[in-house]
Amino acid sequence: MGMKASLFRKLPPSVKQEVRRWRYGKLIDRNQFRSEEKEFEILRDIVQPNDWVVDIGANVGHYTLLLSSLVGNEGRVIAFEPIVQTFDLLSSNVQRTALGNITLINAAVTNKAGPLGFVIPNGNLYQSHMTPEGGDFVVMGYPLRNFLPQDFRVSFLKIDAEGCDSQIVRECADIISRDRPVVMLEVTGAELTELVDNLSNYRTMMIHGSHNGFLVPVEAMDRLKKLGPEVCEDEKK
């Protein structure tokens, strides 16, 4: 561990939060606020201007800000983040960009309504996760349909929900069937294949070396196949 990291760990939680806020702000100002995940740049060819998109598990907003820039003034982004400390940073980052097409919701999206326990190991917001044992704090979770305006039509759905991704997809299968969005989620392999088996005219798509998978409506597959050699699809026909 470097000296800076060691010193940071010794800071009071409130000071750590302000250091994070300052650091993210500098990255945003320099146009360097981005995720290292392979999907981050590929989304530039998936999400279109005027799309309406949902970001479940927005964290501090790397994908939220990217999606906002891609959909433009006529598009909309609804971003969910349940952890209060993380939501505080997400809000600051969005405010710094002065983007007006983002709606932030401090809540968890789940497959059914109920309380959820979360833990933040050693104060590391990136390692926060749900726990069945109560955790450091409890938040309420609700199905996605409870939050969406009646006229909202989802073009792209990103899910990073601490192991609940598959349950959320199953719960909102009717929304997916109606709106035909591309879905990005932290699920691969047999679990991803099982999900696509329960959706009408969908295929799976993966990025080589990634822990994320995609559920893609068949009408969008030809366009997404052109994204490059890193993209591969399943054999399901």
Average pLDDT over residues 37-48: 92
Structure confidence by residue, pLDDT tens digits, 128-163:
666 666 677 788 899 999 999 989 999 999 999 878
Band of residue 49 on the pLDDT scale cut at 50, 70, 90: very high
Q: Domain 26-113+145-233 belongs to what topology?
A: Rossmann fold (3.40.50)
33-60 b/e (C-beta count within 10 Å ≥ 16 → b): beeebebeebbeebbeeebbbbbbbbbb
pLDDT (0 to 100) of residue 136: 74
pTM: 0.90
The answer on pLDDT for 236 being more than 80 is: no
Q: Where are the alpha helices (DSSP H) in 105-155?
A: none
Band of residue 112 on the pLDDT scale cut at 50, 70, 90: confident
Structure confidence by residue, pLDDT tens digits, 2-30:
767 777 777 888 999 999 999 999 999 99
Burial class (CB in 10 A: 0-12, 13-18, 19+), 147: middle
Spatial CA neighbour of 63 closest among 50, 47, 49, 51 = 47
Question: CA–CA separation, 160 vs 137, rounded Å?
Answer: 19
The more confident residue out of 128 and 110 is: 110
Query: Average pLDDT, whole number, for the chain?
Result: 89
Angle 86-109-214 from CA coordinates, rounded to 5°: 95
Per the CB < 8 A criterion, the answer to whether 145 and 109 are in contact is no
168-178 b/e (C-beta count within 10 Å ≥ 16 → b): bbebbeebbee
> Hey, where are the domains in the chain?
26-113+145-233
Spatial CA neighbour of 69 closest among 49, 93, 39 = 49
Band of residue 230 on the pLDDT scale cut at 50, 70, 90: low
